[in-house]
Structure 1
Amino acid sequence: MWYWIFKFVLIGPVLRLVGRPTIVGAHHIPKSGPVILASNHLTVVDSFYLVLMVRRRITFVAKSEYFTEHGTKGRLKRWFFTAAGQVPIDRSGASAADAALDTARKILEDGKVWGIYPEGTRSPDGRLHKGKTGIARVALATGAPVLPVAMHGTPTINRHGSALLRFGKVSITVGAPLDFSRYGALCDNRHVVRAATDELMHDLMVLSGQEYVDAYAARR
């Protein structure tokens, strides 16, 4: 319930006013069944605009620190990220990556929409960086289609390192689904997983118009 209140009553009207968002290619998103939305990642508000403009509920896997802070501020953060469709995962241990992927598989097995940023973090320089292979492993294991999603204009709305929102124009482009089922029997082959990931990143590069960098994005 809070997800829909968050989307249509609390944050949604503000986001629409500030960003005047539009979406192209939404017809590619199936009305039911598992699907992976794989987006470039430019700023914090990417997730909020994606949630706002896609009709189906999207679930992201987020670091548990967003949900464990104490006090009133912590409770507000916990409510905010839960309402925004994020589920916590402990990313501090050696098995963090496996736990995150197991959670993603469960989301898809339940017939839901999993949202992910293949770069693993926000782009530090506005370019599109090399994709991590977890998304391909999940797609190959579950058979869920992968839809590349390109965010445009969000850095104008929310500049890197700032909590303020500025007026601008946000647009979202959803590409045609990528079907990796032909690789299903080779889901444990690291070369196949890498090739599937690179195919996705190529489509994201074309949709977003970003310069591609064959190196992982580093946190700053």
Structure 2
Amino acid sequence: MIYGAMKLSIGSGLKLAFRPWVEGLENIPASGPAILASNHLSFSDSFFLPAVLDRKVTFVAKAEYFTSPGVKGRLTAAFFKGVGQLPVDRSGGRGAAEAAIKAGIEVVQGGGLFGIYPEGTRSPDGRLYRGKPGGLGRVALATGAPVIPIAMIDTEKVQPPGKVVPKLLRPGIRIGKPLDFSRYQGMEEDRYILRSVTDEVMYEIMKLSGQEYVDIYATVAKRQIAEAEKAEKAAAKAAEKAAKDRSGEAPAKAPDGAVEPGTPGAGSSGPGAQDRPAA
């Protein structure tokens, strides 16, 4: 009931304001379970995708969204519950991943649509990164549900990372044909099968999105970018300090006993030497 009200208000508002275009809507089943595997460009991805679908989509979200204190915290929790987010404590490493997988399996086994971002985090630069096999592969193989690849287009331009207020640009959504991995059902502990399933889904997402593919995890790319930015700032700071030190240096002094050129007694080459009488 809350989801319906949120979809009517927020979803309708998003469609009216941003007019997202959609291709392949017929690939979403009218009923029954499915896993929606999407690239991840922006925080707004989890709002634009549900806005264009008739059915409820459930994602997992960090537990902090549901446990913040005060009136603002309660309103935030109500909002995320209303838009179909499930709280998962992501601070516990392996345990957090297991909780997210369990939540996804429960949604799918209940006949719902489970939304997941195989990259595990937002792309730091708009490129498509290697999918993490644990979540997507295990939910797919534990349930036998079809995996539907989805490409979000230009949502990072609508709401760039770190920006709260979105820009009024038109994003797009491409929905691919369902992928059937039921032949591997029950093999969710085989890491080679998990990797193969995930890579196949990421390949389909790449074709739909047109993104450049990078065969490393997005978390690694983010760390590399952060380290490069840190090194660049350090180099700029060092260069600025060196320039400041050079500008503050005192003029060079002549050695003891020497006379600077142009001063009396400096020799016949100084200014006015030709005017001095010979001894």
TM-score range, shorter chain: over 0.9
For 2:153, the equivalent position in structure 1 comes to 152
Say which SS state the counterpart of residue 22 (structure 2) adopts. strand
Which residue is equivalent to 2:117? Answer: 117
**In structure 1, distance between residues paired with 2:64 and 2:206:** 31
2:11–2:52 CA contact under 8 A, matched in 1:
no
**Residues 1-220 of structure 1: pairs in structure 2 closer than 5 A:** 1-9=1-9, 11-93=10-92, 94-133=94-133, 134-218=135-219, 219=222
Count of matched residue positions in the alignment of Structure 1 and Structure 2: 219
* Residue type of the alignment partner of 1:105: I
Q: CA deviation at 1:186?
A: 3.0
Q: For 1:52 and 1:153, locate their aligned partners in 2 and report how far apart those are by CA, in whole Å.
A: 16
5+ unaligned residues in a row in structure 1: which ranges? none
- Counterpart of 2:270 in structure 1 is none
> In structure 2, how many angstroms separate the alpha carbons of the residues matched to 1:100 and 1:185?
18
Q: 1:90 to 1:185 in 2, by over 3 A?
A: closer
**2: CA distance between counterparts of 1:212 and 1:157?**
22
Are the equivalent residues in 1 in contact too, given 2:63–2:90 (CA < 8 A)? Answer: yes
Distance verdict in 2 for CA 1:185–1:109, change over 3 Å: closer
1:8 CA displacement: 1.3
Greater radius of gyration (CA)? 2
**Amino acid in the other structure paired with 1:165:** P
* Segment drifting more, 12-21 vs 61-70: 12-21
TM-score (norm 1): 0.96
- Relative contact order (C-alpha < 8 Å, sep 6+): which is higher? 1
Between the aligned partners of 1:84 and 1:69, the Cα distance in structure 2 is: 17
CA contact (8 A) 1:64 1:88 kept: yes
AA in 2 matched with 1:65: E
Matched-pair identity in %: 52
- Deviation of 1:14 after TM superposition, in Å, equals 2.9
Unaligned runs of 5+ in 2: 227-279
Preserved CA contact (<8 Å) 1:39 1:148: yes
Q: Distance in 2 between matches of 1:171 and 1:34?
A: 24
Indicate the SS of the match to 2:91: coil
Residue 43 of structure 1 deviates from its aligned partner by: 0.4
Opposite residue 97 of structure 2, the aligned amino acid is A
Is residue 18–residue 165 contact of structure 1 (8 Å, CA) maintained in 2? no
* 4+ long deviations beyond 4 Å: none
Asked if structure 2 preserves the Cα contact closer than 8 Å seen for 1:43 and 1:159, the reply is yes
